[in-house]
């Protein structure tokens, strides 16, 4: 597993003012995110989809015209947190 370029950063925004820290671990949550940096042309979207599937999550991910990757992920809070951590630290 390779690390993201240091410039890549994930902006993870909980939806509907859900306090993720207070959510029960088995609660279903939805998170919107946007990743900045060198994320296009390096199969970032493909790896994000694969990681989400492996964690049993659903959602979508797309490249933007601004050169970022945006997406939404839904599933159990613990699995969503794992993907958030993966987006921040591992990437592709």
Domains of the chain: 9-89 (3.30.70.100)
Q: Which of 2, 3, 63, 81 is catalytic?
A: 63
pLDDT digits (tens, 9 = 90+) for 77-87: 999 999 999 99
- Per-residue confidence (pLDDT) for residue 10, from 0 to 100: 52
Give Cβ neighbours of residue 84 (< 8 Å, ≥ 6 apart): 10, 12, 31, 33
53 noted as active-site residue: no
- Per-residue confidence (pLDDT) for residue 21, from 0 to 100: 52
Question: How many other β-carbons are positioned within 10 Å of the β-carbon of residue 86?
Answer: 20
d(CA 22, CA 25): 9
Which secondary structure element, helix H or strand E, spans residue 2, and what is its range?
none
81 noted as active-site residue: no
Residue predicted with more confidence, 73 or 11: 73
Question: How many other β-carbons are positioned within 10 Å of the β-carbon of residue 91?
Answer: 23
- Per-residue confidence (pLDDT) for residue 31, from 0 to 100: 95
- The token pair that represents 65 in the structure block: 């015209």
pLDDT digits (tens, 9 = 90+) for 49-69: 999 999 999 999 999 999 999
d(CA 28, CA 68): 26
Q: Which of 45, 53, 66, 81 is catalytic?
A: 45
Whether the pLDDT of residue 23 is over 70: the answer is: no
């Amino acid at each position: 597993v390779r690390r993201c370029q240091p410039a890549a950063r994930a902006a993870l925004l909980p939806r509907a003012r859900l306090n993720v820290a207070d959510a029960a671990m088995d609660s279903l949550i939805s998170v919107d995110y946007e990743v900045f940096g060198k994320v296009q042309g390096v199969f970032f979207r493909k790896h994000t989809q694969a990681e989400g599937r492996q964690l049993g999550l659903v959602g979508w991910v797309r490249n933007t015209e601004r050169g970022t990757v945006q997406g939404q992920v839904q599933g159990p809070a613990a699995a969503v947190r794992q993907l958030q951590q993966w987006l921040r630290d591992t990437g592709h």
